[in-house]
């Protein structure tokens, strides 16, 4: 079951890579297309504002690609360093909570005892609208 | 695989689905508007269901609908799935939230034992294979009520797989015409619930309450083996009863403890399956069937007019009675599943594999749980049928109505009357009154003791059947009076004095010689007229069968 899941994962990852290398400029392999950038920006709410950022991404992917030099045939993949650990089971008692005031202190805006968020889906447009101070960077 | 009977009829140019309606057995849940969410469930495995569809009269090509369900049931536990904050329905906003639930950095998930037990119990009750090793994953998407930006779920290897659920649907106009269907269960997985968002349109903001964030959910995925709204609703109802019998979830749709998403597509039998749409957040038993049937009709209509079905997510507007595309739909979601790095695999054991000397608090034994499973609704119905000789459809009604079974059993305990009599009174008269005034069993003005006493009077022949009904009506209207009180107040007791009755019969016969002659000639209606006259004379306090017997005896003498 693991092996199959990983194979599927690998296949889709390989397909993804193959996907954009095939759209690549034959002169420069490993280019990341604008479509992929848009998709990533939406999914991860990151801002690939500049060509420099895209270039850095391509370099990072090329760096990780070196993993393929390792022969992993017949080796079961490890998904977590915790795979041999015991999963601790907690008994069903109420021991936390009741700290609304403390938690709400972290919020930029609060209405009565609710956190306030902008309406609708989180999108890069919205993210870019916020100033750096609002993001607490 | 169950065969299905769908009757499609054509009204003019419009297809009308006539999936026989078994009547409103569903509770009176009110639809609470949980806000639209962009959560797209897992894709159900597409299989070819065996469906027999009758041809329409006009000979046009028939359609078959395919319905799969993803049901989220809130686990009934004291604390949340991965944190120790309380699980409670109504509480001040953000008061039941721990640092982990608010996704503050540095917090880690700690699995709640009770939630795992609940998942195993549910898996066993639904005939699933329990995976001795299951894994947790992260499902990423951004929404304000999901503070971490991901939901911890079990996508790769869930805790239980490959089960089945049996349910019952009406297949005819008569209540006795019921058929048992089964739907396969693809998997059951443990996952976190998200918080609640309240949209404040005028001020262009959303208010977030994280009390519900992190509560344990059981997601039960039903394969697309169903073909109409009624089947889906019946399957959900049966699942509700099972969860409630197990105690793993209160499964109250009105309180949001049970939420259903439906995947619906239509196709011509024999052809490949059509494009499916997902109808989300069906939170009321009443609207579940309506929404699914509407969507089936809509898809058929679109396809017949040459348009295509979009693979989209829709929600049901109960006021308008139709499904609409959800806002904020931005194309396919990519959840970027990854293993949850903070949780090792969940290992379960059975008696054979239990490690010796293990801390009992830290291990879960599937066999131990199986031995202690409570009685499931199917078994309860079987016992009712065997013990009280009732018809299967009666057992279904008793279990379907909240609190009715308990009421019934309390009456049985206190009465000497025959179980069949009790069944008939509870299911016909008592339930009839409840439905007429739209009351739940626990709002009934008549207590089980009162009904038991009434049935005792009837059983002793202290009152007649019709008198009993009068007493029942009076019991319903005026609280506090006992049946005996009402009987004596309204002088409804049956005449016990045989001699007095004979005298009345004699008097009536003497007073109506013409009718007596008709009787002698063999006119069957004549005797009824005499019985009526005697009853009037006795102010309806005589048993008609006894009257008839006396009259016939007098006639022959």
pLDDT for residue A122: 59
The answer to which of B4-13, B87-96, B170-179, B396-405 has the lowest mean pLDDT is B4-13
For A3-132, list the strands marked E by DSSP.
89-90, 110-111, 114-117
The answer to which of B145-154, B229-238, B323-332 has the lowest mean pLDDT is B323-332
pLDDT, greater one: B208 or B467: B208
Which of B413, B419, B416 is closest to B394 using CA atoms? B419
In this prediction, residue B332 has a pLDDT band, given cuts at 50, 70 and 90, of low
Taking CB atoms and an 8 Å limit, are B93 and A121 in contact across chains? no
Q: What average pLDDT does range B466-490 have in this prediction?
A: 80
Taking CB atoms and an 8 Å limit, are B112 and A90 in contact across chains? yes
User: Given a cut of 90, is residue B532 above it in pLDDT?
Assistant: no
pLDDT for residue B56: 40
**Chain B residues touching residue A114 (CB < 8 angstroms):** 93-94, 198, 207-209
- CB count within 10 Å of CB B56 equals 16
User: Given a cut of 80, is residue B210 above it in pLDDT?
Assistant: yes
pLDDT for residue B262: 95
Q: Give the burial class of B17: count Cβ atoms within 10 A of its Cβ; 0-12 exposed, 13-18 middle, 19 or more buried.
A: buried
Side-chain half-sphere exposure of B124, counting CA atoms within 13 A:
22
Which ipTM was obtained for this model?
A: 0.72
In this prediction, residue B208 has a pLDDT band, given cuts at 50, 70 and 90, of very high
pTM over 0.90: no
Nearest-CA distance A27 → chain B (Å): 31
Nearest-CA distance B140 → chain A (Å): 8
pLDDT for residue A108: 84
H/E element, B207: strand B205-209
CB B127 within 8 A of CB B109: no
pLDDT for residue B504: 79
d(CA B166, CA B184): 9
Nearest-CA distance B327 → chain A (Å): 9
pLDDT for residue B29: 33
pLDDT for residue B320: 85
pLDDT for residue A2: 54
Taking CB atoms and an 8 Å limit, are B142 and A87 in contact across chains? no
In this prediction, residue B408 has a pLDDT band, given cuts at 50, 70 and 90, of very high
In this prediction, residue B25 has a pLDDT band, given cuts at 50, 70 and 90, of very low
User: Given a cut of 80, is residue B447 above it in pLDDT?
Assistant: yes
**Chain B residues touching residue A109 (CB < 8 angstroms):** 205
* Beta-carbon contacts below 8 Å between A and B: 156
In this prediction, residue B178 has a pLDDT band, given cuts at 50, 70 and 90, of confident
pLDDT for residue A124: 56
Taking CB atoms and an 8 Å limit, are B96 and A118 in contact across chains? no
**Chain B residues touching residue A125 (CB < 8 angstroms):** none
Write out the residues of chain A at the interface with chain B, using a CB-CB cutoff of 8 A: 1-2, 5, 39, 42-43, 45, 79-80, 82-100, 103-104, 106, 109, 111-123
User: Given a cut of 50, is residue B12 above it in pLDDT?
Assistant: no
Q: What average pLDDT does range B154-168 have in this prediction?
A: 95
In this prediction, residue B227 has a pLDDT band, given cuts at 50, 70 and 90, of very high
Nearest-CA distance A113 → chain B (Å): 6
pLDDT for residue A115: 92
**Chain B residues touching residue A93 (CB < 8 angstroms):** 78-79, 84
User: Given a cut of 70, is residue A123 above it in pLDDT?
Assistant: no
pLDDT for residue B26: 35
The answer to which of B7-16, B238-247, B320-329, B346-355 has the lowest mean pLDDT is B7-16
pLDDT for residue B18: 38
Taking CB atoms and an 8 Å limit, are A93 and B78 in contact across chains? yes
User: Given a cut of 60, is residue A130 above it in pLDDT?
Assistant: no
d(CA B285, CA A40): 39
Taking CB atoms and an 8 Å limit, are B209 and A122 in contact across chains? no
pLDDT, tens digit (0-9, with 9 covering 90-100), for B41-93: 333 344 434 443 433 434 468 899 999 999 999 999 999 999 999 999 889 99
The answer to which of A13-27, A106-120, B325-339, B352-366 has the lowest mean pLDDT is A13-27
Phi, psi of A114 (to 5 degrees): -105, 145
Taking CB atoms and an 8 Å limit, are A88 and B201 in contact across chains? no
Tokens coding B187: 């998997």
**Chain B residues touching residue A83 (CB < 8 angstroms):** 344-345
Tokens coding B494: 């049956």
pLDDT, tens digit (0-9, with 9 covering 90-100), for A10-19: 544 444 444 3
Taking CB atoms and an 8 Å limit, are B142 and A83 in contact across chains? no
**Chain A residues touching residue B77 (CB < 8 angstroms):** 92
Considering chain A, what percentage of its residues have pLDDT values greater than 90? 26
Q: What average pLDDT does range B456-484 have in this prediction?
A: 81
Considering chain B, what percentage of its residues have pLDDT values greater than 90? 45
Side-chain half-sphere exposure of B466, counting CA atoms within 13 A:
9
Q: What is the mean pLDDT of chain B?
A: 83
Chain A CA closest to residue B149: A44
User: Given a cut of 80, is residue B338 above it in pLDDT?
Assistant: yes
User: Given a cut of 50, is residue B22 above it in pLDDT?
Assistant: no
pLDDT for residue A12: 47
Nearest-CA distance B292 → chain A (Å): 26
User: Given a cut of 50, is residue B21 above it in pLDDT?
Assistant: no
SS3 content of chain B, % helix, strand, coil (to 5): 35, 20, 45
In this prediction, residue B259 has a pLDDT band, given cuts at 50, 70 and 90, of very high
- Judged by phi (left if over 0) then psi (alpha if -120 to 50, else beta), residue B442 lies in alpha
- CB count within 10 Å of CB B59 equals 8
């Amino acid at each position: 079951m693991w092996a199959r899941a990983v194979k599927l994962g690998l296949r889709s990852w390989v397909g993804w890579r193959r996907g954009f290398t095939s759209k690549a400029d034959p002169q420069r392999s490993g280019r990341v297309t604008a479509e992929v950038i848009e998709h990533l920006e939406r999914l991860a709410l990151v801002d690939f504002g500049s060509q420099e950022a895209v270039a850095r991404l391509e370099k990072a992917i090329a760096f990780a690609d070196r993993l393929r030099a390792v022969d992993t045939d017949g080796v079961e993949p490890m998904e977590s360093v915790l795979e041999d650990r015991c999963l601790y089971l907690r008994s069903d008692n109420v021991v936390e909570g009741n700290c609304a005031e403390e938690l709400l202190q972290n919020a930029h805006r609060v209405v009565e005892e609710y956190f306030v968020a902008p309406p609708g889906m989180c999108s890069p447009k919205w993210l870019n609208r916020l100033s750096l101070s609002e993001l607490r960077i | 695989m169950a065969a299905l009977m769908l009757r499609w009829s054509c009204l003019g140019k419009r297809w009308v689905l006539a999936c026989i309606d078994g009547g409103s057995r569903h509770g009176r849940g009110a639809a609470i508007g949980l806000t639209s969410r962009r959560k797209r469930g897992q894709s159900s495995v597409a299989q070819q269901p065996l469906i027999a569809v009758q041809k329409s009269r006009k000979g046009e090509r028939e359609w078959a609908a395919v319905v799969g369900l993803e049901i989220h049931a809130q686990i009934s536990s004291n604390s949340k799935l991965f944190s120790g904050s309380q699980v409670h329905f109504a509480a001040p906003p953000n008061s039941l939230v721990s640092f982990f639930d608010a996704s503050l950095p540095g917090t880690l998930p700690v699995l709640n034992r009770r939630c795992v037990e609940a998942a195993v119990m549910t898996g066993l009750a639904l005939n699933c294979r329990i995976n001795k090793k299951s894994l947790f994953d992260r499902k990423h998407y951004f929404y304000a009520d999901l503070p971490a930006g991901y939901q911890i779920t079990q996508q790769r290897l869930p805790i239980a797989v490959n089960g089945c659920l049996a349910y019952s649907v009406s297949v005819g106009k008569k209540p006795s015409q019921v058929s048992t269907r089964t739907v396969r269960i693809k998997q059951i997985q443990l996952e976190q619930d998200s918080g609640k968002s309240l949209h404040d349109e005028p001020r262009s903001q959303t208010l977030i309450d994280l009390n519900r964030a992190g509560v344990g959910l059981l997601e039960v995925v039903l394969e697309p083996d169903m073909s109409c709204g009624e089947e889906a609703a019946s399957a959900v109802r049966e699942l509700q009863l099972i969860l409630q019998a197990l105690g793993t979830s209160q499964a109250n749709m009105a309180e949001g403890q049970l939420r259903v998403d439906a995947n619906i597509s239509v196709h011509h039998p024999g052809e490949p399956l059509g494009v499916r749409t997902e109808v989300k957040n069906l939170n009321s038993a009443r609207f579940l069937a309506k929404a699914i049937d509407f969507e089936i009709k809509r898809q058929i209509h679109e396809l017949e007019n040459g348009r295509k079905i979009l693979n989209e997510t829709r929600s049901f507007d109960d006021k308008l009675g139709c499904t609409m595309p959800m806002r904020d739909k931005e194309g396919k979601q990519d959840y970027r599943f990854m293993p949850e790095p903070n949780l090792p695999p969940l290992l379960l054991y059975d008696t054979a594999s239990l490690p010796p000397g293990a801390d009992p608090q830290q291990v879960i034994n599937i066999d131990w749980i199986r031995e202690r499973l409570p009685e499931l609704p199917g078994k309860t119905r079987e016992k009712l049928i065997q013990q009280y000789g009732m018809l299967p459809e009666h057992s279904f009604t008793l279990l379907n109505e909240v609190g009715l079974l308990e009421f019934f059993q309390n009456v049985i305990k206190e009465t000497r009357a025959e179980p069949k009599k009790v069944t008939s009174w509870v299911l016909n008269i008592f339930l009839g009154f409840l439905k007429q005034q739209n009351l739940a069993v626990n709002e009934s003005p008549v207590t089980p003791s009162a009904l038991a006493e009434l049935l005792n009077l009837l059983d002793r022949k202290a009152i007649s059947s019709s008198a009993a009904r009068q007493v029942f009506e009076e019991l319903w209207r005026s609280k506090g009076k006992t049946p005996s009180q009402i009987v004596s107040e309204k002088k409804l007791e049956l005449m016990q004095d045989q001699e007095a009755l004979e005298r009345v019969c004699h008097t009536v016969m003497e007073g109506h010689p013409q009718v007596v002659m008709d009787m002698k000639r063999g006119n069957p209606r004549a005797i009824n007229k005499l019985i009526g006259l005697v009853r009037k004379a006795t102010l309806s306090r005589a048993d008609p069968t006894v009257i008839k017997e006396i009259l016939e005896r007098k006639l022959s003498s």
